[in-house]
Amino acid sequence: MNRFVLSMMLVAFASQSEAAEVSDAKQPNIVLLFADDAGYGDFGFHGSHHFKTPHLDQLAKRGVRLSNFYVSGATCGPSRAGMLTGQYQQRFGYEEINVPGIMSESSKLLGDEMGLPTDLKTMGDHLQAHGYHTGIFGKWHMGVADRYHPLKRGFDEFYGFRGGARSFFAYANPKSTARENLIERNFGNYQEHDGYLTQVLADETCDFIERNQKKPFFAYVSFSAVHAPMEADPQDKDQFFELEGTRRTAAQMMLSMDRACGQIIEKLKDLGLEQDTIVVFTNDNGGPMDRNGSSNYPFSGVKGTQLEGGIRVPGIVAWPGKLPTGTVYERPLTTLDLLPTFVKAGGGDPTLIERLDGVDMMPFLQGKNKERPHQTLHWKMETRAAIRDGDWKLLRFPDRPAQLYNLAEDPAEQNNLAGKHPEKVKTLFQKQFDWELELARPLFMLRRQEEGWSARRTDEFRAPPAADY
């Protein structure tokens, strides 16, 4: 046997061994803890003096906190559509409204037609393809028609409700309640829960984890807290006497959600799965403030606006042994990055997925890649838009001049620099316009009148709310 043939055999053997090592590597379990309408400033790990989040604070200490973490949309439905697909939702026309639940008579004509387009693969689809058992617990909000159902969109199990919001307590008359608001187990099995919904979702998630501990699983825990209706767990009725009204209720609801997160994390520890599980905590958009008493301090803006308070959200990623502990990653990342991160960790190649806008976060969080994960990020709803390029951010409006901010120096967006840097305004306008040329036309053109975000001036939300922080 000549030396060349021998060397080729050795190379082939080494390649086979490497492939075997990769295939034998244990796929991590994945738990995505997802809050609803929470305020950026209402977490202990963000410095809140009144709200209590001890379990999430501990998660932040044993993982990486993302200080510049963004959603792709400033309202619940579009934000979730982007996260679940890994691409800007505007690419497939899902930008204008939250669905379902449109309240005007004319929009009822759309009915069940509104939902995440069925030709798109979700996070669940991709993880199923890599051998994961997938479950969603809580709010779906991606369409109420049967064809949009979670069990047809990449999830093996579902316990929750198809709509966007519901009572935290069981409905006394389920037969007179809209189907999308009812608690559903898997497909078509409707039965209202016993107890407080946030706690029930934690119980169901823990049961899912225990039943699937011998195989890789993905649990998407989509809490409806602290979204309205403002209903606290009775066991927390004696908490937060220093707060009043809706803000006190929000603090109680946040405490309940934190307790639920702690219960799920403790279940992982009890089963010896903590080292083998990626746990992510984040939120769908900024807090609405006037609706649920939330605070987005230190940022201006609320849910529905493209100020930082509407689109920058808490983010924590923990993976023992694979990620540093107690650190802060300060460069911009986005919920669009979750899908490619999960797929890569699960043994897939996200670069083979068409039209992804997200990136695998792990090399950046591990310090292996020192570059910026995203030089540019975009937001758009109707004619309003925003672009972040490096540390510069441009806000575009239909009824007044654009605003320009340097987020490194002015994260609260108090000092408009558009007049001082007209060339920067022009450059960012062009970049945003070029991106918009890639997008599909909006699928749903009707807006919910009771939200009214597009009619309200950004100036209303300019000053960061410091009260009760």
Does the domain formed by 28-374 have CATH 3.50.50.60?
A: no
d(CA 412, CA 415): 9
- Which residue, among 170, 102, 152, has the nearest Cα to 445 in the 3D structure? 102
Residue 114: the pLDDT is 85
Residue 458: the pLDDT is 55
Residue 409 token pair? 């120096």
pLDDT in tens, the chain (469 residues): 444 344 444 334 333 433 333 334 689 999 999 999 999 999 999 999 999 999 999 999 999 999 999 999 999 999 999 999 999 999 999 987 666 544 444 445 455 678 999 999 999 999 999 999 999 999 999 999 999 999 999 999 999 999 999 999 999 999 999 999 999 999 999 999 999 999 999 999 999 999 999 999 999 999 999 999 999 999 999 999 999 999 999 999 999 999 999 999 999 999 999 999 999 999 999 999 888 999 999 999 999 999 999 999 999 999 999 999 999 999 999 999 999 999 999 999 999 999 999 999 999 999 999 999 999 999 999 899 999 999 999 999 999 999 999 999 999 999 999 999 999 999 999 999 999 999 999 887 644 443 444 445 555 555 555 545 5
- End-to-end Cα separation, the chain, in angstroms: 76
Contact 87, 78 (CB under 8 A): no
Cis amide leading into 298 (omega within 30): yes
Q: How far is CA 62 from CA 32, 163, 317, 318, 461, in A?
A: 16, 34, 9, 6, 34
d(CA 28, CA 130): 11
How is the chain split into domains, by residue range?
A: 28-374, 383-441
Q: b/e for 305-340, b at 16 or more Cβ within 10 A? A: bbbbbbbbbbbbbbbeeebeeeeebeebbbbbbbbb
d(CA 206, CA 350): 29
pTM across the whole model: 0.91
Residue 422: the pLDDT is 98
Residue 443: the pLDDT is 85
Q: Which residues contact 450 (CB under 8 A, 6 or more apart)?
A: 103
Residue 102: the pLDDT is 43
Residue 95: the pLDDT is 85
Domain spanning 383-441 has what CATH number?
A: 3.30.1120.10
Residue 338: the pLDDT is 98
Q: How far is CA 465 from CA 176, 297, 299, 415, in A?
A: 40, 6, 8, 17
Rg (alpha carbons) of the chain, rounded to whole number: 22
